[in-house]
Chain A
Amino acid sequence: MINPNIFIYLTVSIIIIWKSSNAMIGKKRIGLFLPFSIVGILFCFNSAFIFYELPPRYFFAASKFLLLLILLWILIIIRRENEN
């Protein structure tokens, strides 16, 4: 039985990567949307850990920590954009 969480993680990651790459091309700026595509790649890694039923505890903890750092990065970008 496949864990249903994998579909949620995979769909969310594909949507995030797809929308962020289209936004990069549309707005003509890579740096502004780079953290979003990294979040998509991290979600995809998480879905892989679930799918293959491998011991993912440390990887999950590390990816949660990375997600927190990227959230801070996005907040800093939004604040800088608002100041400009």
Chain B
Amino acid sequence: MKTELVKILVLSSALVHYVIVAVLGGVLITEYYKRKKELRGGILGYGAFLIIILVFFVLDIYRNLVASSMLIDWISLFLAILANISFVATSLRYFEYINKRLFFSIPLFSIGIIIVEILRVLQIGKNLEVYTAITTLVATIFGYLLIIGFLIDRSSNNIVSSKIQKKS
């Protein structure tokens, strides 16, 4: 029964994760081509973050359902750190346009994932796949809201109004 529940949570969160990331990637691509050059900043950074967490989740599903090895554990630890760095770097660069509460909550989740990955590499945390699946899903939903908010704040009217405020 426990393995069935683990399967339900891991697989269904994976499918939801793929759909959210695919839709968000589509929104980012359309926004990238809709906007003028000066308003495109940050979209590519968040796109790279989405691609990294997508690869991380593919590896996580492979590890849980097919085969687990030390190499995959090391690669997923590296990807988790890389995703965290790319997200924080892009967000800090455009800090004035993002929701601060969401920004400070996402690294908390991702630091938790990194700790779980370190435990896996040290071969301590073997039964933590549910934690990784659910935490990644929650972090993705928060990231979805943060990126949509970023796109709203960085639209043309807000940039024009902030420039006028700076001049006055």
Contacts and interface: CB of A to CB of B under 8 A. Distances in A.
Interface of A: 10, 13-14, 17-18, 21-22, 24-25, 28-30, 37, 41, 44-45, 47-49, 51-52, 54-56, 59
B15 A44 contact: yes
Q: Interface range on chain B: under 10, 10 to 19, 20 to 34, or 35 or more?
A: 20 to 34
B26 to A, nearest CB: 7
Contact of B23 (A17, A30, A56): A17
Given A17-B19, A25-B155, A51-B15, 15 more contacts: A17-B20, A18-B23, A21-B27, A21-B144, A24-B152, A25-B148, A30-B149, A45-B12, A48-B12, A49-B12, A52-B7, A54-B4, A54-B11, A55-B4, A59-B8
Nearest to B147: A21
A52 B8 CA distance: 8
A52 B12 contact: yes
A79 to B, nearest CB: 24
Interface in B128-165: 141, 144-145, 148-149, 151-152, 155
B16 interface: yes
A28 B8 CA distance: 36
A44 B16 CA distance: 6
A74 to B, nearest CB: 18
Nearest to A52: B11
